[in-house]
A and B are shown apart, each in its own frame.
Chain A
Amino acid sequence: MSAPFARLPNWAEYGLIPLVNLLVAFLISGLVVLFAGENPLRAAYLMVYGAFGSGEGIGYTLFYATNFIFAGLAVAVAFHAGLFNIGAEGQAYIGGIGVAAACLLFDNSLPWFLVFPLAIIGSAAMGALWALIPAWLQAYRGSHIVITTIMFNYIAQAFMLWMLINVFKPLGQMAPQSRTFGPGGHLPKLDWLLSIVGLDNRNSPFNLSFLLALLAAWLVWLLIWRSRLGYEIRTMGHSPSAARYAGIFEKRIIVTTMLISGALAGMLAINSIMGDQHRIQQDFVAGAGFVGIAVALMGRSHPLGIILASILFGMLYQGGAEIAFEMPNISRDMIVVIQGLVILFAGALEHLFRPAITAAFVRMRSRSAATETAGA
């Protein structure tokens, strides 16, 4: 006989509690800033100003958010199947090969709108490929996917460096990067979108891949909640024995889910490579794959939540650049700390404040919090 969990209203369950978790994460981040000898309130002000205070700032924020949306979707899809894909970072890195290949081969012969779909296919395929081996090992050998994907992140780093030096780098150059792409390898910017809202933004790399990310978010929603494959993924994620009972092939689902996840992560590369840098260079992923974990947890693995969380982290990144400018001690690594704290409070400690909030609710209402238990 188990006690029914006193249920809070939906808005508290999905809005208030995540918000409180987030606030605490930020509070502690503020303490770290303090510990490093700076004023957290000023840092917060700088961050918000840097992210939203100008058209350019907003453009950058959304540009970063694009990467996080892809990564967050990748991690979320895997979460739904009960899998923890920490390898989005490596999968995105390898996805860059697909983008670079499409651009380097066709940038001078095809217009961007033909190179774009090729880049999508290429990056998705490469990202999926990098997820394939850990997926297969988990499904068929029971190797823990968390450790294998972490290993593959490290292997990707080494492999990509080799690729950059020996394959992409033009002869005679020193830096491990490819040549700059021709016109076919440039994605159009979306500054006109911001101008409609009256924002001036010329220098930000905010580009078309943002719309691709939104499209991907919608498709993921369709997949998870409106398709049969999504139903099978969710069943397996909640209860592998029920999946077995229902005739769902666990191994097939694991591999398929990870392929989709890897593909989403791979597409992240398009934003950086084709939308901004117009070449492939070292470490263009810059930790976005890991931010995806925080974003997926914050967004409760739902595309809408992921988009919102991604914009939040985009704000952190862009605002963080502003902070680093004025407070040299608070470098980009601060984002990693915040990311970790968000993962901690939105992930592992998500129920920490629940008793206190529930008690407050019970006090505030004369009738007890509605419980939906069924009588027989």
Chain B
Amino acid sequence: MDYGEIISVLQGTIRMSVPLILTALAGLYAERSGVVDIGLEGKLLAAAFAGASAAAFTGSAVLGLIAAVFCSVCFSAIHGFASITQRGDQIVSGTAINFIAMGATVIIGQAWFNMAGRTPSLPPESKFDGSWGLPFADLVAPIPFIGDIYARVLSGHYWLTYLAYALIPITWWVLYRTRFGLRLRAVGENPGAVDTAGISVTRLRYQAVLLGGVFVGLAGAFLSMAVSAGFTKGMSAGKGFIALAALVFANWKPKNILFTCLLFGFLDSLSIAMQGKTLPGLGAIPVQLWQALPYILTVILLAGFIGKAVPPKASGRAYVKER
């Protein structure tokens, strides 16, 4: 692999980590409040579809973004209703949302665009602008290696990319330095303590889930309107689950999410560059192995060989007043 390819892989890492970061943050808010969200995958897919469709109809990327967020928040509301108000099984609810999204995006897409589940290719003005330069990028570029890192790897991304990375420290601040964050963490550990303090457990959890919905909406829009130029059937390809694994691996802490998502993004980016290439000593790696690699890694991570993960104590359990 030559130098140019390495830079390319690094740049890809930054880019491909974005939907993972946003989705993992969405999962973080939900799980910290005690609601498990397996439905991130479905919401991601639905948001991607909604965004691309709206952009195709209106020609505006911004409207597409709003549509994506709106769609994701609606699904989050359903999940919230089932998990919080109805106290249903949260994993079942999330699974249901995944299927509904999977099927509905194709059916509705077919009905609207008649392109076998795809949306029409978006012209550049309906997508996200692909190159926001960091300041002084041109000045720094000639410096060997560091200049390349700054000018070509870190600079020149979509504004959504920078927003996503900025949301990590912002999330940290919200969780640990605000009243909302304190209450959110409390309700995920001991909802009874929150209830008896006169705070509504239901409202907090809904807030967390819906806020997560916004984040996933951004991620979906990124998928179909930044990286690609439209929606294709099943384009989330398990990213929602991988984000969940990244969240677990990060031990539900915002700072770690940065690293775990970058790791998965790196793997994604690397596998694209490596396809068809041979590794010294190992020979040609079959395409399918590269495809399966992120999922295999997820399993290895979850096997806990790399540290033990401790979820919020009340995670996954509906709150019932113990009387």
A36 x B100 contact (CB < 8 A): no
Q: Number of A residues contacting the other chain (C-beta, 8 Å)?
A: 51
Supposing A142-B304, A337-B99, A348-B82 touch, asked if A147 and B241 sit within 8 A by C-beta, the answer is yes
What's the Cα separation between A340 and B102 when bound, in Å?
A: 9
B296: nearest residue on chain A (CB-CB)? A155
Q: 8 Å CB contacts to B: which residues of A112-142?
A: 133-134, 137, 141-142
CB distance from B100 to the nearest CB of A (A): 3
CB distance from B93 to the nearest CB of A (A): 4
Per a CB cutoff under 8 Å, which of B91, B101, B110 touches A331? B110
A2 sits at the interface (CB 8 A): yes
* Chain A facing B: main interface SS: helix
Q: 8 Å CB contacts to B: which residues of A317-341?
A: 329-331, 333-341
Stretch touching chain B among A101-109, A157-165, A200-208: A157-165
Per a CB cutoff under 8 Å, which of B97, B291, B299 touches A340? B97
Supposing A143-B302, A146-B91 touch, asked if A344 and B82 sit within 8 A by C-beta, the answer is yes
A329 x B302 contact (CB < 8 A): no
CB distance from B82 to the nearest CB of A (A): 4
CB distance from A157 to the nearest CB of B (A): 8
B140 sits at the interface (CB 8 A): no
CB distance from B98 to the nearest CB of A (A): 7
A276 sits at the interface (CB 8 A): no
A348 x B299 contact (CB < 8 A): no
A344 x B96 contact (CB < 8 A): yes
B107 x A343 contact (CB < 8 A): no
A-B contact count (CB 8 A): 152
Per a CB cutoff under 8 Å, which of A35, A154, A337 touches B295? A154
Per a CB cutoff under 8 Å, which of B88, B103, B241 touches A350? B88
A1 sits at the interface (CB 8 A): yes
Per a CB cutoff under 8 Å, which of B96, B107, B291 touches A334? B107
What's the Cα separation between A84 and B92 when bound, in Å?
A: 9
B303 x A137 contact (CB < 8 A): yes
Per a CB cutoff under 8 Å, which of A36, A146, A154, A336 touches B292? A154
* Chain B facing A: main interface SS: helix
Looking at A32, A150, A155, the one whose CB has the most chain B CB atoms below 10 A away is A150
A349 x B291 contact (CB < 8 A): no
B104 x A337 contact (CB < 8 A): yes
Q: Mark A194-231, 1 if CB is under 8 A from B, else 0.
A: 00000000000000000000000000000000000000
Instruction: Note all chain A residues with C-beta closer than 8 A to B245.
Output: 147, 151
Q: 8 Å CB contacts to B: which residues of A280-336?
A: 290, 293, 297, 329-331, 333-336
What's the Cα separation between A62 and B193 when bound, in Å?
A: 53
Q: 8 Å CB contacts to A: which residues of B86-117?
A: 86-93, 95-104, 106-108, 110-111, 114, 117
A148 sits at the interface (CB 8 A): yes
Q: 8 Å CB contacts to A: which residues of B131-173?
A: none
A351 sits at the interface (CB 8 A): yes
A111 sits at the interface (CB 8 A): no
What's the Cα separation between A86 and B270 when bound, in Å?
A: 29
Q: Mark A49-92, 1 if CB is under 8 A from B, else 0.
A: 00000000000000000000000000000000000101000000
B6 sits at the interface (CB 8 A): no
Instruction: Note all chain A residues with C-beta closer than 8 A to B117.
Output: 333
B86 x A351 contact (CB < 8 A): yes
A36 x B108 contact (CB < 8 A): yes
A151 x B298 contact (CB < 8 A): yes
B286 sits at the interface (CB 8 A): yes
Q: 8 Å CB contacts to A: which residues of B119-140?
A: none
Instruction: Note all chain A residues with C-beta closer than 8 A to B288.
Output: 158-159, 161-162
B59 sits at the interface (CB 8 A): no
A141 x B111 contact (CB < 8 A): no
A152 sits at the interface (CB 8 A): yes
Q: 8 Å CB contacts to A: which residues of B257-297?
A: 286, 288-289, 291-292, 295-296
CB distance from B91 to the nearest CB of A (A): 6
What's the Cα separation between A339 and B238 when bound, in Å?
A: 19
Per a CB cutoff under 8 Å, which of A84, A143, A290, A329 touches B303? A143
Instruction: Note all chain B residues with C-beta closer than 8 A to A297.
Output: 92
A-B contact pairs, 7 of them (CB 8 A): A32-B107, A36-B108, A36-B111, A148-B302, A331-B106, A331-B107, A351-B88
Which A residues are within 8 Å of any B CB, using their own CB?
A: 1-2, 32, 35-37, 84, 86, 133-134, 137, 141-144, 146-148, 150-152, 154-155, 158-159, 161-162, 166, 290, 293, 297, 329-331, 333-341, 343-344, 347-352
Which B residues are within 8 Å of any A CB, using their own CB?
A: 38, 78, 81-83, 86-93, 95-104, 106-108, 110-111, 114, 117, 238, 241, 244-245, 248, 286, 288-289, 291-292, 295-296, 298-299, 302-304, 308, 323
**Minimum-distance CB pairs A-B, first 3:** A340-B99, A336-B103, A348-B88
Q: A336-B103, A340-B96, A348-B96 are in contact. List 15 more A-B contacts (CB 8 A).
A: A151-B238, A154-B295, A155-B296, A158-B288, A158-B292, A159-B288, A161-B288, A330-B107, A336-B106, A338-B103, A341-B100, A344-B92, A348-B82, A348-B90, A348-B93
